Structure formats: C-alpha cells, structure tokens
Amino acid sequence: MKRITILAFLIFCICALFVVTASAKTQLTYSNFFPPTHIQSQLAESWCKEVEKRTNGEIAINYFPAGTLTKAPQTYDGVVQGIADIGMTVLAYSRGRFPVASAIDLPMGYTTAVQATAVANTVINKFQPKEFNDTKMMFVHVHGPGLLHTRDKAVSTLEGIKGLKIRSTGTSGLIVAALGASPVGKSMRECYQMLQKGVVDGSFHPVEANKGWKLGEVVHYMTQNFSSAYYTTFAVFMNKDKWAALTPDQQKVITEINAEWIPKHGVAWDEADKLGMEFFLSKGGKVIPLSDTESKRWGKAVAPVIDGYIEKVAKKGIDGKAVVAFIKKNM
C-alpha cells in the first residue's frame, strides 16, 4: 500500500512538472494581411517557426494570414492594443502617422527591392523614429520599383504620359500627377477590371503584380521609369508589453533572426519581380527603357513630390531634408 502511495506521488510530481513546463511556454499571435500562398506570408510563417526552433520551444507563435486576426489598415493599432502580439502591414495604410518612414516610399530611384529594403532599415536604425514608440519595431521591407504600365499606348517620353488616366494611390498618385497624368485612386483589387474595360489607360505597380494580380494580361507596355518609381514599405512590429515580458536571451534570438530575415524579404520581392516580368513577356508585353536624358527629365518632374514631403513633415518638427539626404547617401 505504501509503495502504491509513493508511486502515485511520483506520478503526481511528474504531471505537475509537465503542467508547469507547458504553462511556462510563451504563446504569441502574428497577424498578416498577405494570403498564405504569397511569398511574403510564407516568409512570415517561417520567421515564426524559426523563433520557436531557436528558443527551443520556449516561444510558440500562432500565425494568422489573410487578415483573419486583424485587417491590414487596423493591424498596427491591433498590435498596440494587444489584439495581435506581432503584425505585418503597409505603413501607408496609416497615412500621416509615420512621417519619417514615409520618406522611404518617395521616388528615390532604387532599382531593386534588396537595395530599397537595406536602405529602409538603415533609415529606421539611424533615426529611431518616435512614431514607432508605441510598439517594438522588428524590421521593415520594401517591394521593387513601382513602374508605369499602360494598356494601349507605349510611353517613352514625358510628353507621352500627359493626359493619361493612371490607377495609382498614395505616393504613386502624387508621382502620376507630377508627371502630368491623372491619378485614379482605386485599390489593386479593382485594377484588373479597370484596365480590362478601358476605364484607365494604365497603372503604376511593381513588376511582380503582373503575375501576382494577373495584370500582365491587361497591360501591354511597361515603361522602366526607375527615376520616378514609387515604393511601398511593409513593417513588422510587436506589442511593447509582450516584448518586455520576454527574457533577454529570447529578445537576443529574435533580434538575430530579424537581421537574417531582412534580406530574405528583399530577395523574395526581387524574385517575384522576375516572375512578374516573365509572365508579362509571355503575354506579349513590351518593355520600354528610358534613355538617360529622358530618365533625368522624369526624375526632375517628380522632384516636387520630395520637396512636398520635406515641407509637410517640417510642420511636425521633423527634418525631412536630413532624412532624404541620408537616403540618397546610403543608396
């Protein structure tokens, strides 16, 4: 009888230890608006798995793609409020909220996503923007150049774009207007039908969207206007309290993983651009490079967009000129 009691006690201790160990695991949530099949969603999910692996299971992250936990425009606030512990979204969805980081989206002339992503993280590290103080910033990444795509008209000069109706939003809309065309502010989801029906003459979008959104089926010309291209910054951030609750070792592991994932995201965007180009060409699309002279003309035409940014953020006490100069220096 005594032996049975001791055995029962040992079993109880083992079970109790198991419960304590299980309860010690930190459970986090990660919200992302990209669909699960998108490479940027797959990278986010692999980030989660890497965190769990390198913390030896001390941290487990439940991944929610396709806006199933928070919708894209609400993701940042969702992380601040603790609805999600970690999130990825487009900073421009919260227009005016991130004045320093918004400089990254300006027509600075990056030619690849790897370049733009590297510069973007250098900007965040250099200026440590107060605009992110209500979260723990993990890192940012940027898609490749958003270029002019047209349906029926090949555009090789600045005069050629004037008067055209071009689907564009946010910074790309400002660029379109500066180039002399008419921006039509509709979402990417509406772009295909608008082009197909001739509601617009073209669209400003990254090359990857030719395949990702099948836009290569309804545009026939791609103007390589790198000097006036637009960009979109995506950010990954974490709830401050959840970050503070992690051990120093866990924080160190995540910081190391972040540094490894930054170039992965840039490379993924560039690889997606290559696939978008292949799809575009397979549909009979024609690529139109700009001459050096013409490229400089387009760059000069959109310079007021950059000047407008500097003037706008100055009202918030931010030295936009210093941010722009730093970006140009580090390209």
- The pLDDT, as a whole number, for residue 328 is 95
Convert the pLDDT of each residue in 92-124 to its tens digit: 888 889 999 999 999 999 999 999 999 999 999
Q: pLDDT below 50 — which residues of the chain? A: 1-23
CATH 3.40.190.170 is the classification of domain 24-103+123-142+233-264:
yes
- The pLDDT, as a whole number, for residue 93 is 86
Give ranges for CATH 3.40.190.170 in the chain: 24-103+123-142+233-264, 146-230+274-329
- The pLDDT, as a whole number, for residue 241 is 98
Nearest to 175 by CA among 221, 242, 230: 230
Convert the pLDDT of each residue in 202-218 to its tens digit: 999 999 999 999 999 99
- The pLDDT, as a whole number, for residue 94 is 87
- The pLDDT, as a whole number, for residue 281 is 98
- The pLDDT, as a whole number, for residue 262 is 98
- The pLDDT, as a whole number, for residue 187 is 83
Fold classification of 146-230+274-329 is D-Maltodextrin-Binding Protein; domain 2 (3.40.190)
- The pLDDT, as a whole number, for residue 188 is 84
